[in-house]
A and B are shown apart, each in its own frame.
Chain A
Amino acid sequence: DTGVSQDPRHKITKRGQNVTFRCDPISEHNRLYWYRQTLGQGPEFLTYFQNEAQLEKSRLLSDRFSAERPKGSFSTLEIQRTEQGDSAMYLCASSLLEAGNTEAFFGQGTRLTVV
């Protein structure tokens, strides 16, 4: 297993367009997280899945954002009608759901630029 992978690594889109990002977690990990990170800030939580169930969605997330994890494996994050304020790094992470030192492993992220 090569870790968490995200696709694409970079995306430039025009304001108003829809974009979709993909995340492939570490295969045995049952938790998958999406975060957004802007320069000089820590990761901002967007949503997370336990297997295929979306358990929590940030209140900061508008209705333009939707995420799926249809078979409990890979996940997609879609942003509709993109705005310039959506420009950020979108990070995916996965982990095991159990106590103890079960750290989250991050993908390399998708950098979105809305022009």
Chain B
Amino acid sequence: GQNIDQPTEMTATEGAIVQINCTYQTSGFNGLFWYQQHAGEAPTFLSYNVLDGLEEKGRFSSFLSRSKGYSYLLLKELQMKDSASYLCAVRGSNYQLIWGAGTKLIIKP
């Protein structure tokens, strides 16, 4: 079957760095996406990886290892507004998105 695993919840301190992991098992792979979702709002796009390696975009970076079925989202210089759920999604063989349950990130002052 198809499966995406992420930790349910993480806590970090304002100004620090946090890494959110995602492991996946899917039939086919056409890219991995990270989305941010604030409570009560729609998910918004953060990053996309299709080749192995690190993609950096400001304070956010995303890493992919296709052979390991593994990705992580790295958030630097954490701000209170980064408190949200972070969703990992894999685009499978039919280009449909398969979603993880999300990781709720709590930022403490």
A101, CB-defined interface residue at 8 Å? yes
A106, CB-defined interface residue at 8 Å? yes
**B42, A97: Cβ atoms closer than 8 Å:** no
Given A103-B33, A103-B48, A33-B95 contact (CB < 8 Å) = no
**B102, A97: Cβ atoms closer than 8 Å:** no
**B43, A99: Cβ atoms closer than 8 Å:** no
Find residues 92-108 in chain B having any chain A CB closer than 8 Å to their own CB: 94-102, 104
A79-92: contact bitstring with B at CB < 8 Å (1 yes, 0 no)?
00000000000010
Classify chain A's interface size. 20 to 34
**B104, A105: Cβ atoms closer than 8 Å:** no
Please tell me which stretch of A11-19, A40-48, A69-77 contacts chain B, meaning at least 4 of its Cβ atoms lie within 8 angstroms of it.
A40-48
Q: Which of A31, A105, A108 contacts B41 (CB 8 A)?
A: A108
Interface of B is mostly: loop
**A42, B99: Cβ atoms closer than 8 Å:** yes
Chain A residues within an 8 Å CB radius of B4: 42
B55-91: contact bitstring with A at CB < 8 Å (1 yes, 0 no)?
0000000000000000000000000000000010100
Given contacts A45-B98, A97-B95, A103-B45, 10 further A-B contacts (CB under 8 A): A41-B102, A42-B89, A42-B100, A43-B87, A56-B94, A101-B31, A101-B48, A104-B33, A107-B42, A108-B42
B residues with CB within 8 A of A = 4, 8, 30-31, 33, 41-45, 48, 50, 87, 89, 94-102, 104
A residues with CB within 8 A of B = 31, 33, 35, 40-45, 48, 55-56, 91, 97, 99-101, 103-109
